[in-house]
Amino acid sequence: MKYLLDTNVCIRYLNAQSANIEQTLISLSPGQVALCSIVRAELLYGALKSAQPKRNMERLAYFFSGFPCLPFDDRASDVYARIRLQLEKAGKPVGPNDLLIAATAIANRLVLVAHNTQEFGRIGGLVAEDWETPAT
């Protein structure tokens, strides 16, 4: 594995809102991209609260089948505690779910693929890419 997808990237892909994300995902070999339990939970929540929960849950089941899902485990919790403390001391907190996702990426030595790079950019040790915009 090389990449961990953030929730916003998954939503843009699922809603066919970014040709760049779609093209990049298609270009990668199976097994290079993963999801994590936090992203999975956010996507499930969104589907359940949507106007068409049954249809969206079916779409997600198919989408999830294409990726391994990493748990938030002990390694990630160790990383989470360190980076949360660093960010709080610096007065630059990050949203709780984003912090959990970032900790999972760092703990598994993965590149986080996200569009909200400004928030994730405050996290030391996190490697992030934005597939929303084509590389120049």
CA gap 78, 75 in Å, rounded: 5
pLDDT score at 60: 98
CATH of domain 3-129: 3.40.50.1010
Is the predicted pLDDT of residue 38 greater than 60, yes or no? Answer: yes
Please classify residue 22 by burial: count the beta carbons closer than 10 Å to its beta carbon, then call 0-12 exposed, 13-18 middle and 19+ buried.
middle
Is the predicted pLDDT of residue 134 greater than 90, yes or no? Answer: no
pLDDT score at 135: 59
Tell me the pLDDT tens digit for each residue of 66-118.
999 999 999 999 999 999 999 999 999 999 999 999 999 999 999 999 998 88
Is the predicted pLDDT of residue 136 greater than 80, yes or no? Answer: no
Going by pLDDT thresholds of 50, 70 and 90, the confidence category of residue 30 is: confident
Q: Give the strand pairing for 111-113 and 33-36.
A: unpaired
pLDDT score at 48: 98
- The predicted model scores a pTM of 0.94
Q: Where are the domains of the chain?
A: 3-129
Please classify residue 97 by burial: count the beta carbons closer than 10 Å to its beta carbon, then call 0-12 exposed, 13-18 middle and 19+ buried.
middle
Amino acid at 79: V
Q: To the nearest whole percent, how much of the chain has pLDDT over 90?
A: 91
